[in-house]
Amino acid sequence: MQHVLVPLDIDPTPPRPGSVARETAGLTMGTSWSAKAVHHAPLPDLQAELDEVVAQMSHWEAASDLGRFNRAPAGTWHILPRAFATVIDYALTVARDTGGAYDPCAGALVNLWGFGPARRYDQAGFQPPSAADIAAVLEARHTVAFDAATSRLFQPGGVQLDLSSVAKGFAVDQLARCLRMQGVRHYLVEVGGELRGAGVKPDGQPWWVALEGVPDAQAGAGTVAALHGLALATSGDYRRYFSVGSQRASHTLDPRTGYPINNNVASVTVLHASCMAADALSTALTVLGATDGLAFAEQRGLAARFLLRGPGAPAHISESTTSAYRALLQ
């Protein structure tokens, strides 16, 4: 039987008479994006919004503001553009709240495991890092200081920022913001599978989207959500990984240990008003694991679903959810 999630707060405003369904799409951040909207006029240039996020926060683009910060000498302060400042401020807050289970300053560790822009895990000749390599990166790692009042970020030396687990969600929020500024109240926007919706479709139905399952596991009951004033993001161990013996080395790393997660979490989905928050929190909860992650989410009223691999039976999936998630079930 299919599960259905419906938001608790519904905006009853219907589409404006004469509005029609419009769609646009493109490529960004190594993936695709799309937007569907009910509007009476052509949609604004959304690609430009995404290009600006890339120009500020991509760790794949050497000329980005983030790329320049990562190469900056020790002991230097850098004034950040507004969007970059918003994202790093939030990411550092999540890092503090989770005790380092989430860390935007772990770029060197990500690169070491082959999940960065160079020395990729899927390229010929790649070898997993040794325990000594990991220990050296952890020992050399520093954190940054951020002055929110002046939007200045301090480079202590050698810090490699990686905002891939938060910038995509922020980009979704930017698309939504751009549409709202043009008077669009009914839309569904998506970047790489992370989504945010508002209002309804022309037929009055909400924007129904399916929550991700685990593709390499037994299929259970599907779940769909009405994205009406909600965003959705999923972190999964099946996205990018390689095998070391019988172990799965997922792209989701635990910054506290320096190793890929090994806690039977196959995926975490978070529903939140902000896609930036859903993006970062789904990653953080994945690292925290079912016990600590559920406790963290419950304390903060987060709507989260954990899909867990059975011990010794990775194809068998069980589900754990928070009370805020269950409150959305219809």
pTM of the predicted structure, to 2 decimals: 0.94
pLDDT tens string 76-117: 999 999 999 999 999 999 999 999 999 999 999 999 998 888
Domains of the chain, CATH where assigned = 3-326 (3.10.520.10)
pLDDT interval class at 221 (50, 70, 90): low
Average pLDDT of span 264-292 = 97
| pLDDT tens digits, one per residue of 10-47 | 776 778 777 789 999 999 999 999 999 998 889 999 99
**DSSP per-residue letters across 263-308:** SSEEEEEEEES-HHHHHHHHHHHHHHHHHHHHHHHHHTT-EEEEEE
In this prediction, residue 316 has a pLDDT band, given cuts at 50, 70 and 90, of confident
Mean per-residue pLDDT, 206-235: 88
pLDDT at position 120 is 85
